Every structure is written in C-alpha cells, then in structure tokens.
Amino acid sequence: MPFDIGSLLEQRPFFSFEFFLPRPPETLDPLFDRVREIAPLNPAYVTLTYRAAAGEQDKNAAAAARIQEELGIPAASHVTGAAHTRAEIADFLDRLERRGVTNLIALRGDLPANQAAAAAERDFPHALDLVRFIKERGGFRIGVAGYPETHPEAVSPDDDLRHLLAKVRGGGSWVTTQLFFDNASYFGFVGRARKAGIGVPVVPGIMPVTNHAQLKRFASLCGVRLPRALVEKIEAFKDSPEDLAAFGIDYATRQCRELLDGGAPGIHFYTLNRTRATTEILARLRNS
C-alpha cells in the first residue's frame, strides 16, 4: 500500500500536522507553500480537512496526491459522511485510491446550514457508519477521532468511549484526539480507553495558542476546558500578539514534552495553516 502510515505509527515519537484547504477563489498554492515549510521537519504524515461544499472533495484528493508525489509526505484525507450519500462517498474513495491516497481520517462531520436533515435520514448518521462502510470496501487505513473531554453531543463519557471502541473495532487503526490544554484530560482518557479494550495508538492533538479570540472560539465550539492559569495568561497578553505567541509556544512545548514523557506515541499539531509556532515547538522538543 503506497504511503501507508501504519509503520510510521510504530515509530516513537512521531509528529504529524493538520492543514485545511484554502477557500475559493484561492488556489492550492498557498497550502503547498505551508506544507513545504514543514517538510524539512520530516513529518510522519499530514492530514487535510475540507468543507462540505461542491468541489471540495476533488480539491482534497488533488491536494493529498500532490503532497505525496511532490514532497514525499504521506497524506491522510479527511472523509466526512454527514453531508454525503453512500454513492458520493464511494465515488470519493475511488478518486482517492486512483491517486494513491490510501490513508483516511473518518469523521461524521457537520451538515451545511441548508441541509438540516434529521440524523436518521442520512446514510452516515454517525462516524461509525462511515468507518464500517470504508472498511468493508477495503483498500484504506483509517484514523478516527477521540475526545478526551467527551464529545459535546455524547450522553456521558462512558457512552462516548463505547462509541470510540466501536469505531476502532469497526476498522480504526489509530485515534487522534480533539485539542485539549490540560494533559490530565489526555492521560485519564487513555487510561480509560485501555481498560475499555482500545489498544491502538491514541495521538494527542495540540493547538498552540497564537490568537486570543480564535482560542476562545475553538474552545466554545469544541467544548474544550481552558485551565485557569492559561486563561489568565491569554487575558494578560491579548493586546500583545507577540507576547501571546511566545507564551503559546512555551505552553505547547511544555505540554508536548509532558505528553511524550508520559507515554504519548507522538503529537498531532493543529496548525490552522500556520507553521511558525509548530516549527519552533518541534525544534525545541528535538533539541531538549
């Protein structure tokens, strides 16, 4: 399987990066410039998100293939099921496979605002349905999402963990977590996951704090808890972007070091298509 990231998941530690497709009318060139910047860091792989809009799947497949072919970096395409039919997902998988993209991140995703269909009316009401569909088709290695602080729509932490176990048993090869800022959340989550029978790598997802308003928005959307010490610092630095960025790099570096020392297999960076912070963090980790 070309560019199969399975063996890379066995290396310790490994580092991966998430990027998103630029919005129209931008070309894909700015995205490749950002990925090219992190290429010297020897990332294990990059992941590519896309919006549920016309033409986005085509752009995702083209971008992932180009990253692999031109930069030699394995790419894992996000595949979201909520806004798509089985036929549409099957067509997307065919296009990915033809281009040599065989690593996926399978997510439920969100419905566009103009497609407010009930969950029961969708072909893929849950990520598990999508994972099973891809696994039955064959030909792909599948990553799934985990939520250290519980999915906002979950009935309970235990119920959320049962869903994750089902996704892994359904075909998930590794878990990437939602972002978090308190490492106790990750270690507690991994401990509960292991007891539940989840044995695949659980990769912590880290987003460096570089923007005050953006952090608050992400925390609200994702249901992420912000430690009091973190909130106090970002409030103190909110009018000084340079000081906030420097603090964010320091905080994320300490967070990553503790995670790796505590047994995390690697780090997945949510870059927001910016590479300065993650480049600095990774340099510090590798030199410490």
- Checking if the pLDDT of 9 tops 60, the result is yes
Residue 217, pLDDT score: 81
- Checking if the pLDDT of 172 tops 70, the result is yes
Most confident of 79-88, 119-128, 207-216: 79-88
| Of 138-152, 226-240, 259-273, the least confident | 226-240
Residue 120, pLDDT score: 56
CATH tag, 8-287:
3.20.20.220
Residue 214, pLDDT score: 77
Distances, alpha carbon 283 to alpha carbons 19, 125, 183, 197, 205, in Å: 19, 41, 21, 35, 18
- Checking if the pLDDT of 240 tops 80, the result is yes
Position of tokens 């490492």? 183
Residue 116, pLDDT score: 52
More confident residue, 156 or 26: 156
Give kind and range of the element (H or E) at residue 164. helix 157-170
Residue 113, pLDDT score: 59
- Checking if the pLDDT of 28 tops 70, the result is yes
Residue 114, pLDDT score: 55
Are 98 and 127 a contacting pair, CB within 8 Å? no
What one-character DSSP code corresponds to residue 22? P
| Of 7-11, 63-67, 75-79, 154-158, the least confident | 7-11
Closest CA to 268 of 183, 186, 206, 210: 206
| Of 45-49, 166-170, 283-287, the least confident | 283-287
Which residues form the catalytic set? Answer: 18
SS3 104: strand
Q: 2: pLDDT confidence band, cut at 50, 70 and 90?
A: low
Q: How many CB atoms lie within 10 A of CB 225?
A: 13
Are 277 and 208 a contacting pair, CB within 8 Å? yes
Q: At 37, list the tokens.
A: 């910047």
Give kind and range of the element (H or E) at residue 144. strand 141-146
pTM, entire model: 0.93
Most confident of 20-24, 118-122, 241-245: 241-245
Cα separation, 288 vs 282, whole angstroms: 10
| Of 118-122, 123-127, 162-166, the least confident | 118-122
Q: What is the DSSP string of 204-248?
A: EEE-----HHHHHHHHHHHT----HHHHHHHHHTTT-HHHHHHHH
What integer is the mean pLDDT of 220-238?
86
More confident residue, 220 or 118: 220
Cα separation, 157 vs 163, whole angstroms: 10
Cα separation, 288 vs 278, whole angstroms: 15
Residue 1, pLDDT score: 46
What integer is the mean pLDDT of 261-275?
95
Closest CA to 18 of 116, 118, 105: 105
Most confident of 50-64, 225-239, 246-260: 246-260
Closest CA to 134 of 99, 59, 84, 183: 84
Give kind and range of the element (H or E) at residue 280. helix 276-287
Mean of the per-residue pLDDT values for the chain? 91
Give kind and range of the element (H or E) at residue 65. helix 56-66
